[in-house]
A and B are shown apart, each in its own frame.
Chain A
Amino acid sequence: MFYLNNFFKVIKDNLLSGILLSTISLILVIYMGNIDLFKNKVIGLYPEYLKGPYFYGLLSASENHSRIRRKMLELPGVNNVKIIEKNEVKNRALEILDNFNMGQEDEFNFEYLGMEVSLDREVNIRGQELIRGYLIRLAGEENITLGKIYPPSISKKLKENLDLFNRYGGIAMAGFLFVVWLFSFFALRKKIKKVAFLIEQYQRKRSVEIKIVLSGVAFFYLIGCVMSYPLPTTQWYVVAGVGAVFIVLMTMLSGRSSWEN
């Protein structure tokens, strides 16, 4: 408690680097334990990246579309099934007919729902046909009309960038966080060294610097663990690894307490 107390006193006197070190320690623990979760969150911002080939279907409004959607989603290779509401389909159809001067709402009875089925990127043509066949059997041949299969809609440049992020983004982010952490640690270390030096000079205590640093970082590490606990994706062996790296680094970087002006 004595050492933790001194750690917080140093933070209080050096708010910027102190808060930076505390926050980054926390973020680093949570991030490293859930690196895939964060990576997927970023990739999730670009749904077109995850979406492979896709096709539309018109489904009789009398069919139980929720059941069909659920069954389809259970199928391997199906990424997403989006139901397009009856009115939306009707409006779209009327718009098209209107362009040809053919449609009149009162004489047009359009009782269909739309369905957009997105497949995983790696599903091959044979797999695509099997999925379509399954959907037809599920809804009944007379109740569904399927459109052609479109290729993934993502631009080549975006796809390349996201591929790169998928491969190296997680580790690059970890590296960035680690560099910021080291920067804030070094900014605070000089102040901690001074306090540690004075304590060693006037109290019967030894290795004060490493004890102050370790107690402070351990505190934020534990908070990070507690915050990671509810996340089901937490990889605890990585979290333990981060803890080990912290300890090794602190031990290496904290030497004999000295007074540096």
Chain B
Amino acid sequence: MTNTDDTIFSLEDVSVTFGKLKALESVSLDIHKGEILFITGSSGAGKTTLLRLLAGQLKPDSGKILLPKKLTGSKLFISQVFQDLKFLMNKTCEENLFHSFDRKIYPNKKNFLSEMRELCKILGIADRLHLKMDKANGGLKQKVALVRALLARPDIVVLDEPTGSLDVDNARKVYEVLSYYNMKKKLTIIWASHNRELVKKFTGRIIHLDSGKLVYTGHACFI
């Protein structure tokens, strides 16, 4: 593995086991700043485990992982959208979005509100923000989770099946929003999906996992 200056994650021979199950086996990988990386693989291939490693929620059993703080010297902010979407269910979608309202990022509340409305409008959920989370369907929840993650203005966003409850058109919208943030704000996107056909339509680097092993790395359009 050769680390370039813009490397923000570096994994060398990383393995993770849960009991007898090898969730990841000798995975080596570099992730660069401003990159769009798709992690594909069937269920149980180790996608979520890899994401959790990158999000700092897991430690490898063997191998070496260098996180952004070690590599860049500064702590990069990571937003996560995992499959178990965490919301306050008795609150509305809008109230849940306000968890991303950080005064350090938005000294003026108007900026936060306009960005929130803009994102919600693009994703087609602006008229459903008043709904309580426990009344929201899976698609709405996924979109709200994505908006919340983006409103935090992260340096890196880690997404686990972010379009699992969405049709192809809505999945494309999500991709377009993310690639806009990638271009404009140099957002690093790490997106795990079992749907290889969907990912092929997008632009970015792709890695494919099979039974915990990294079996392919290359550009999405060449898969």
Contacts and interface: CB of A to CB of B under 8 A. Distances in A.
Interface of A: 2, 13, 194-195, 197-199, 201-205, 259
B39 to A, nearest CB: 21
A201 B148 CA distance: 10
The prevalent SS among residues of B at the interface is loop
Interface in B127-156: 148-149, 151-152
A204 B86 contact: no
Contacts of B102: 202-205
A241 B107 CA distance: 39
25 contacts: A13-B90, A194-B86, A194-B88, A195-B88, A195-B99, A197-B86, A198-B88, A199-B99, A201-B79, A201-B86, A202-B79, A202-B99, A202-B100, A202-B148, A202-B149, A202-B151, A203-B99, A203-B101, A203-B102, A203-B104, A203-B105, A203-B152, A204-B77, A204-B102, A204-B104
Contacts of B148: 202
A2 B104 CA distance: 12
A215 to B, nearest CB: 16
Given A198-B99, A199-B99, A204 B105 contact: yes
B103 interface: yes
Contact of A201 (B80, B88, B104): B80
Nearest to A2: B103
B103 to A, nearest CB: 7
A35 to B, nearest CB: 40
Nearest to A199: B99
A6 to B, nearest CB: 10
The 9 lowest CB-CB distance pairs between A and B, nearest first, are A203-B102, A202-B100, A202-B152, A198-B99, A202-B99, A259-B86, A204-B104, A204-B102, A202-B148
B98 to A, nearest CB: 9
B96 to A, nearest CB: 8
Contact of B100 (A194, A197, A203, A259): A203
Interface of B: 77, 79-80, 86, 88, 90, 96, 99-105, 148-149, 151-152
B141 to A, nearest CB: 14
Contacts of B88: 194-195, 198
Contacts, number: 38
A199 B149 CA distance: 11
A204 B106 CA distance: 12
Contacts of B101: 203
A179 to B, nearest CB: 28
A154 B86 CA distance: 64
Contacts of A199: 99
Contacts of A13: 90
A198 B103 contact: no
Contacts of A194: 86, 88
A197 B82 CA distance: 14
A194 B77 CA distance: 20
A261 to B, nearest CB: 9
Contacts of A204: 77, 102, 104-105
B36 to A, nearest CB: 21
A204 B101 CA distance: 10
Contacts of B86: 194, 197-198, 201, 259
A13 B88 CA distance: 11
Which of B80, B86, B90, B101 has its CB near the most chain A CB atoms (within 10 A)? B86
A195 B88 CA distance: 8
A16 to B, nearest CB: 15
A199 B101 CA distance: 9
A148 B134 CA distance: 80
Nearest to B154: A202
Contacts of B80: 201
A201 B79 CA distance: 7
Nearest to A200: B99
Contacts of A198: 86, 88, 96, 99
Which of A198, A199, A202 has its CB near the most chain B CB atoms (within 10 A)? A202
